[in-house]
Chains A and B, each alone.
Chain A
Amino acid sequence: MNLMMIIFTESVVAACIAGILCGYLGVYLSRLRLITLGFAVAHGAIAGASIAFLLGLNVELLSFIFGVLAALMIEYLHKRFDVERDIASMYVFSFSSAIAIIAIYMTPTLLLTSDIASMILWGSILAMTMEKIVFLATILSILVAYTRIFKWELNSILFDRKLAEAEGVNTSLHTVAFVLISAATISILLRFVGGLLLFSLIFGPAVAATSVTYKRQNAVGALIGSSSGILGVIISFYFDLPIGSMIAISVCIISVSASMVINVYFRRKLRSTLSEY
């Protein structure tokens, strides 16, 4: 197998796992109303990656740490000062974006034009290694196991967060768990999909899944995510276009198509039901 084929195969496998992971995770984040928190975590991770890039440190590690710090800051503002999570997320998002831009501004021009910088911002098909694929698969396994083990507690929170709290479910613990998993996912995928468009892979499939079905939303989210990832890699590979953009466009096309197909399906079914009367 030649080198191009190896890179292509690894990218397709990575995009498939990343799509399943992001779709599955995104449905939980969306239904737990942690969308803006996830957005802020993603931008915290970009700030971490930019600083790591400026200082020559490990990009994945620093982006993970900054992602977690962003989430902790939001939780602190929410718990200590009663600032709504969504509003606190927007503060942290603005702050993280500013830090990222300062770090990029301070980076020497020669470094800024290198492949590594464009990987962080736009993503690169070359960024995936077998090591990272294994890491992604591990995060996915942990997430699936976690959601199976705490199925009833999570269902209770998803059904009604306040009622779950009133019944003694530790909602904060599960929020923190999802934030950590999100931060780990984002930091690993940052170079592959790019910080600016990674968010679309997490929330695009989730929003589509929750709008097209009310059963098995996780599975549908994972399916839309993986198909978008694979399609994005194929287009990016054959037309030499940025992978992040191609995945984001694929997410939009597949999500909108899914919504349209389901809409048409139910309309036709309703029409045939009405004709029986």
Chain B
Amino acid sequence: MYAIEMRNVYTAYPKTVDVALKGVNLHIPREKLVLITGPNGAGKTTLLELILGFLRPIKGTLRVLGYDMPKYSNIVRKKCSYVMQDFMKPYNTPYTAWEVVLMGLAPYKAPFEKLNRDERELLDYLLGFLEIRDLMDKPFGTLSGGQQQRVMLARALLRRPQMLLLDEPFSSIDADSRKDFALLLNDIRKKYRMTILVVSHDVSPLLDFADIIVRLRDGKIVDLQ
């Protein structure tokens, strides 16, 4: 079964006449680590927004985790986690890192429902795994870019998604830490058996771990390895 099935998909942003993705055919099996790369304006982020149902296919068909999109986008969104490119927040953001992590569970929780045992165990593991335990009481906005990114990753993983979508995950990480982060993603993929889609300009840290590499240019797939 495929995580993503795209057949001849075209899409465009609202109020534009430019077609952002043109005739994309892509079949991604589950539990793979997929690297999506290409120059600026190639359609990388557009592809993620299409998968999450923020954009509609104007032609062609799209199925994500077996669901037709965008019809079932609400179901698909609850089964996916997304770490956005522009996740950084200003210093006066009124939430601690702990609160930001727990917000990820909002769509699944009934009012006043607390964390269950599995979630507490997973959270405890993630805080250690991502080395962010000491940051939890700090205001989110006062953390560095790399720390905020790890917190956002903990939020994404606490949701136990079937698919994790990361948009430019290396943008806030210094060059030395990028390899470590790539190793971390590979460990996550193996441990949680999830499909991971990474959009990045910088392919080098993930080249050793990626199962599939998709190169986009001008809204088309120009290379698929």
CA distance A256 to B107 in the complex (A): 38
In the complex, the answer to whether A167 meets B95 with C-beta atoms within 8 Å is: no
CA distance A40 to B67 in the complex (A): 39
Chain A residues with CB below 8 A from B111, complex form: 148-150
Known: A82-B14, A166-B82, A217-B94. A155 touches B106 (CB 8 A): yes
The answer to the question of A163 belonging to the interface, with a C-beta cut-off of 8 Å to chain B, is yes
User: What would 5 A/B residue contacts be, using CB atoms closer than 8 Å?
Assistant: A82-B14, A152-B105, A162-B84, A166-B84, A167-B77
In the complex, the answer to whether A167 meets B107 with C-beta atoms within 8 Å is: yes
CA distance A148 to B107 in the complex (A): 15
Interface positions of B from 60 to 108, Cβ below 8 Å from A: 74, 77-78, 80-82, 84, 87, 89, 92-95, 99-100, 102-107
Q: Which of A152, A153, A166 contacts B77 (CB 8 A)?
A: A166
Q: Is the interface of B mostly helix, strand, loop or mixed?
A: loop
In the complex, the answer to whether A167 meets B78 with C-beta atoms within 8 Å is: yes
Chain B residues with CB below 8 A from A82, complex form: 14-15
In the complex, the answer to whether A155 meets B103 with C-beta atoms within 8 Å is: yes
Q: Which of B15, B106, B111 has the most CB of A within 10 A?
A: B106
In the complex, the answer to whether B93 meets A168 with C-beta atoms within 8 Å is: no
In the complex, the answer to whether B107 meets A155 with C-beta atoms within 8 Å is: no
Binding site for A on B (CB under 8 A): 14-15, 52, 54, 74, 77-78, 80-82, 84, 87, 89, 92-95, 99-100, 102-107, 109, 111-112, 139, 159
Chain B residues with CB below 8 A from A76, complex form: none
CA distance A48 to B79 in the complex (A): 44
Chain A residues with CB below 8 A from B159, complex form: 167
In the complex, the answer to whether A156 meets B103 with C-beta atoms within 8 Å is: yes
Say how far A156's CB is from chain B's closest CB, in angstroms.
4
Top 5 A-B pairs ranked by shortest CB distance? A168-B78, A168-B77, A152-B106, A168-B107, A82-B14
Q: Which of B74, B92, B93 contacts A159 (CB 8 A)?
A: B93
CA distance A155 to B109 in the complex (A): 13
Say how far B161's CB is from chain A's closest CB, in angstroms.
9
Say how far A179's CB is from chain B's closest CB, in angstroms.
21
Known: A150-B111, A166-B82, A168-B107. A215 touches B94 (CB 8 A): yes
The answer to the question of A214 belonging to the interface, with a C-beta cut-off of 8 Å to chain B, is yes
In the complex, the answer to whether A155 meets B77 with C-beta atoms within 8 Å is: no
- The chain A residue sitting closest to B100, CB to CB, is A159
Say how far A266's CB is from chain B's closest CB, in angstroms.
12
In the complex, the answer to whether A152 meets B52 with C-beta atoms within 8 Å is: no
CA distance A148 to B80 in the complex (A): 26
In the complex, the answer to whether A159 meets B107 with C-beta atoms within 8 Å is: no
| Cβ contacts A25-58/B at 8 Å (1 or 0 each) | 0000000000000000000000000000000000
The answer to the question of A72 belonging to the interface, with a C-beta cut-off of 8 Å to chain B, is no
In the complex, the answer to whether A152 meets B15 with C-beta atoms within 8 Å is: no
In the complex, the answer to whether B81 meets A167 with C-beta atoms within 8 Å is: yes
Known: A167-B82, A215-B94. A159 touches B103 (CB 8 A): yes
The answer to the question of A165 belonging to the interface, with a C-beta cut-off of 8 Å to chain B, is yes
Known: A149-B111, A159-B93, A217-B94. A166 touches B106 (CB 8 A): no
CA distance A159 to B139 in the complex (A): 12
Chain A residues with CB below 8 A from B80, complex form: 166
- The chain B residue sitting closest to A215, CB to CB, is B94
Chain A residues with CB below 8 A from B103, complex form: 152, 155-156, 159, 164
Q: Which of A148, A153, A214, A217 contacts B106 (CB 8 A)?
A: A153
In the complex, the answer to whether B106 meets A149 with C-beta atoms within 8 Å is: no
Chain B residues with CB below 8 A from A252, complex form: none
The answer to the question of A103 belonging to the interface, with a C-beta cut-off of 8 Å to chain B, is no
Chain A residues with CB below 8 A from B104, complex form: 156, 167
Q: Which of B54, B84, B87, B99 contacts A155 (CB 8 A)?
A: B99
In the complex, the answer to whether B106 meets A169 with C-beta atoms within 8 Å is: yes
In the complex, the answer to whether A214 meets B93 with C-beta atoms within 8 Å is: yes
CA distance A163 to B111 in the complex (A): 20
Chain B residues with CB below 8 A from A168, complex form: 74, 77-78, 107
Chain B residues with CB below 8 A from A150, complex form: 111
Say how far A116's CB is from chain B's closest CB, in angstroms.
42
- The chain B residue sitting closest to A31, CB to CB, is B94
Q: A152-B102, A163-B87, A166-B77 are in contact. List 18 more A-B contacts (CB 8 A).
A: A150-B111, A152-B103, A153-B106, A155-B95, A155-B103, A155-B106, A156-B104, A159-B100, A160-B87, A160-B89, A163-B82, A164-B103, A166-B84, A167-B159, A168-B77, A168-B107, A170-B74, A215-B94
